[in-house]
Amino acid sequence: MSTRAQKWLVSGPPLVYLLVFFAIPTLIMLLASFQYPGEYGGLAPLFGTGDPDELSGLTFESYQRFFGDAIYLGLFFKSFLYATATTLFCLLLAYPLALLITRSPKKYRDLLVLLVILPFWSNFLIRIYAWMIILGPQSLFAKGFNGFVGLFGIGPLPLLFSPIAVLIGLVYVHLPFMVLPLYANLEKHDPALLDAAQDLGASSWRRFWRITFPLSLPGVYAGSALVFIPALGIFAIPDILGGTDGILVGNLIKQQFLDSRDWPFGSVLSMILTLLAILFVGLAAWFARRK
Amino acid sequence: MKKLLAVVALLFALPAWAQKADVLHLYNWNDYMSDETIKRFEAFCKCKVKQTYYSDNDELIAKLQAGAKGYDVLVPTMNAVEALIKMKALMPLDKAQLPNLKNVMPEYLNTAFDPGNTYSAPYAMSITLIGYNDRKVKELGVPVDSWATIFDPKILEKIKGKVTVMDSQRELMAAALKYLGYSVNDTDDAHLQEAKAVLLKAKPYWAAFNASSYIKELTVGNIWVAHGFSNDMFQANLDAKEAKRPFGILPALPKEGAVLALDAMVIHKSAPRPDLAHKFINFMLDGKNSADLTNMIGSGNPNADAMQYITPEIKALKAVFPDAETAKKLEMLKDLNSKQRRAMSKIWTEVKVK
């Protein structure tokens, strides 16, 4: 078999997968974003029956609506901030953890990685509902927290139904997606490099900053993309833990498809979200490759 | 080893056996059916009932419109029944299999939503109203006889952060429209803008928009006032009693009037088991079974034959059985067309984001 054929054989299945489950749906959505909404939901037909009252064909209406009101771009910006904050907090929490796992004795490593994945064994929604109880005003945690801030004359602060609750939920759910790529990267580092640096008199901080961190950057980019993109579009967490101003762009999209039955506008929002996500992946890949 | 093999064989056999059993797929509102009633129906039909849930009519319609299949019986509100009929999503009822349809009070039959009840059989009713923690409300002196309780900042000041409102654009707008003295089906843009202003002014005082966990939040005492369905408040009160909380959750019907939802059983056009669906509908139209629904989940009842079985305490509840004067102020929601839905959605997004 020629190498060319081998290449196709290996890259074929993922290519087909992406074509069927990403490219084609995205094209359908692109078309939908230019259609009119159907009377009971769904889409108005592309080719009408000629009835003058019936909406059919293509239109820029939904795009005009999106760009005609700053409220939608504002919501994208807000979601962007939440996703960025989530990524940063995940990185700050995951990096030391991944490093700790890598530096721990080999026989414990698999167990520690298993512990990171363990939460996935229970349903995501159940874990979020658990946070509802933990953050609720009757909980020990909330009472302890408010007792503590009360010492400084603040509060009591409501924890549940607040932006903080949403951020806690986002960081909690996405943390493993940051830990795993970081661990996969850090584990491969050659310890001889650190030994050599130490022999040459580098302090432990300098060894980390000049050797470990630059080498781990591909892991940082991969983890950031894995956290940032889902966090940008998530709707369940703001729905359950968020307050009255907790909605993110994911909620708005869900609202278009489920509550308002406005598929074209939902498609416009999804298209823009997809474009932003691709842009982010592109940037991450570019940064990672440049190194 | 033999034992292990037998267990493995059994494990593989189980799903096959389960698939052969008769199963009725019921797509219902959450908290709109008592477990006992389900058990009794399962014993009666020698089948299994598999229930899945939705929390908003729009959610149900959206799912069916997107091609969801496999449901036998749905329990949409009448306005959604009308939309589903126009979408050609329903199967006509075979009245010969539904002798108990005669038990339904005539005022709930032959409505404009489904003339002649070709597709729908009334199931139960609920009123969207205010549920409150009796102890807290009394302590703080919060009046609960009007929509002002959830809309007037002067009143809300006392219960800030302890109020949830429904996460449903139709229901919340309807409450605001009623508060302003308009019809719940008003689509006049000026009136909708007025309603939006009411919502925006009150929003800072609410804890959250909440469609399905307000029962729990009320029961636990995290929330003191909630905008929601009458039967949910009934459930919250039962739960609070069972947990021996020092308070009860009571329903209050605002004097301005409210949304009345008549929910009806319909059969999806691609129902796998229309035979079981008809059996179920006829079973639920039986006076005793229908009364159980009211006795156990506190829903309003359109069934004349059920009245004799309903406990006097529930009959006395004005929020479940409103008197004639109050009943006049109740309105059913009508379905909106795509243009009206867009206008409503725009307002709703502004309410949620601002």
Please tell me the distance from the alpha carbon of residue A159 to that of residue A166, in angstroms, as a whole number: 10
Q: What is the DSSP string of B152-214?
A: -HHHHGGGTTSEEE-S-HHHHHHHHHHHTT--TT---HHHHHHHHHHHHHHGGG-SEE-SSSH
How close B45 gets to chain A, by Cα (Å)? 33
pLDDT at B16 over 50: no
Taking CB atoms and an 8 Å cutoff, what residues of chain A touch B156?
none
Q: Which residues contact B156 (CB under 8 A, 6 or more apart)?
A: B149, B150, B163, B202, B205, B206
CB contact under 8 A, B338 and A251: no
Question: Tell me, what's the pLDDT at B53?
Answer: 92
Q: Which residues contact A91 (CB under 8 A, 6 or more apart)?
A: A178, A220, A223, A224, A227
Nearest to A260 among B161, B204, B345 (CB): B345
Query: How confident is residue B5, by pLDDT bands cut at 50, 70 and 90?
Result: low
Taking CB atoms and an 8 Å cutoff, what residues of chain B touch A40?
61, 65, 83, 86-87, 335, 338
Scored b (16 or more CB within 10 A) or e, B180-212 reads: bebebbbeeeebbebbbebbeebbebbbbbbbb
In order of A159, A241, B304, the CA distances from A127 in angstroms are 17, 12, 45
Question: Tell me, what's the pLDDT at A230?
Answer: 92
Please tell me the distance from the alpha carbon of residue B110 to that of residue A143, in angstroms, as a whole number: 55
Half-sphere exposure of B288 (CA within 13 A, CB side): 4
Domains along the sequence of chain B with CATH: 13-125+260-320 (3.40.190.10), 127-258+332-353 (3.40.190.10)
DSSP bridge partners of B27 = B52, B74
Burial category of A56 from C-beta neighbours within 10 Å (exposed 0-12, middle 13-18, buried 19 and up): middle
Query: How confident is residue B166, by pLDDT bands cut at 50, 70 and 90?
Result: very high
Are A40 and B61 contacting, i.e. CB atoms less than 8 angstroms apart? Answer: yes
Among A43, A129, A134, A161, the strongest candidate for a mutation testing the B interface, having the largest count of B CBs within 10 A, is A161
The more confident residue out of B303 and B14 is B303
Helices (H), chain A: 3-18, 24-32, 61-68, 70-103, 106-117, 124-135, 140-150, 163-186, 191-199, 204-207, 213-233, 236-241, 249-254, 263-290
Q: Which residues contact B162 (CB under 8 A, 6 or more apart)?
A: B136, B207, B222, B223, B224, B225
pLDDT at B12 over 60: no
Are B29 and B55 contacting, i.e. CB atoms less than 8 angstroms apart? Answer: yes
- Rounding to the nearest 10 degrees, give the CA dihedral for residues B201, B205, B209, B211: -120
Question: Tell me, what's the pLDDT at A46?
Answer: 82
Helix, strand or coil, per DSSP, at residue B55:
coil
pLDDT at B20 over 70: no
Q: What is the DSSP string of B110-163?
A: S-TTSGGGSS-EEEEEEEEEEEEEHHHHHHHT---SSTHHHH-HHHHGGGTTSE
For residue A191, which amino acid is it? P
Structure tokens at B271: 């129902």
Give the ipTM of the model, two decimals please.
0.82
Q: What is the DSSP string of B267-302?
A: EETT-S-HHHHHHHHHHHHSHHHHHHHHHHH--B--
Are A165 and A131 contacting, i.e. CB atoms less than 8 angstroms apart? Answer: yes
In order of A90, A163, A242, A288, B352, the CA distances from A81 in angstroms are 14, 12, 15, 22, 18
The residues of chain A scoring below 50 in pLDDT are: none
DSSP bridge partners of B260 = B127
Question: Tell me, what's the pLDDT at A212?
Answer: 92
β-pair type (B259-268, B90-91): antiparallel
pLDDT at B339 over 90: no
Structure tokens at B160: 């800030």
How close B64 gets to chain A, by Cα (Å)? 10
In order of B3, B9, B19, B48, the CA distances from B12 in angstroms are 14, 5, 12, 20
Report how many Cβ contacts below 8 Å link chain A to chain B: 110
How close B300 gets to chain A, by Cα (Å)? 25
Q: In terms of CATH architecture, what is A69-259?
A: Orthogonal Bundle (1.10)
Mean pLDDT value of segment B185-189: 93
The more confident residue out of A162 and B5 is A162
Over the Cα atoms of chain A, what is R_g? 24
How close B342 gets to chain A, by Cα (Å)? 7
pLDDT at B1 over 50: no
CB contact under 8 A, B59 and A255: no
Please tell me the distance from the alpha carbon of residue B130 to that of residue B230, in angstroms, as a whole number: 8
pLDDT tens for each residue of A145-157: 888 888 888 777 8
Mean pLDDT value of segment B288-302: 91
> What is the number of other CB atoms lying within 10 angstroms of the CB of residue A29?
17
Are A270 and A254 contacting, i.e. CB atoms less than 8 angstroms apart? Answer: no
Q: Which residues contact B340 (CB under 8 A, 6 or more apart)?
A: B187
Helix, strand or coil, per DSSP, at residue B247:
coil
Q: Give ∠ CA A79-A84-A89 in degrees, rounded to 5.
A: 125
pLDDT tens for each residue of B237-294: 999 999 999 999 999 999 999 999 999 999 999 999 999 999 999 999 999 999 998 9
Q: Which residues contact A80 (CB under 8 A, 6 or more apart)?
A: A232, A276
**Mean pLDDT of all residues in chain B?**
90
Cis peptide before A156 (omega within 30 of 0): yes
Scored b (16 or more CB within 10 A) or e, B61-95 reads: bbbbbeeeeebbbbbbbbbbbbbbbebebbbebee
Structure tokens at B324: 């004639």
CB contact under 8 A, B86 and A161: no
CB contact under 8 A, B220 and A132: no
Contact status of A132 with chain B (Cβ, < 8 Å): yes
Give this prediction's pTM. 0.84
Nearest to B169 among A245, A246, A259 (CB): A259
Contact status of A265 with chain B (Cβ, < 8 Å): yes
Are B80 and B60 contacting, i.e. CB atoms less than 8 angstroms apart? Answer: yes
Are B248 and B58 contacting, i.e. CB atoms less than 8 angstroms apart? Answer: no
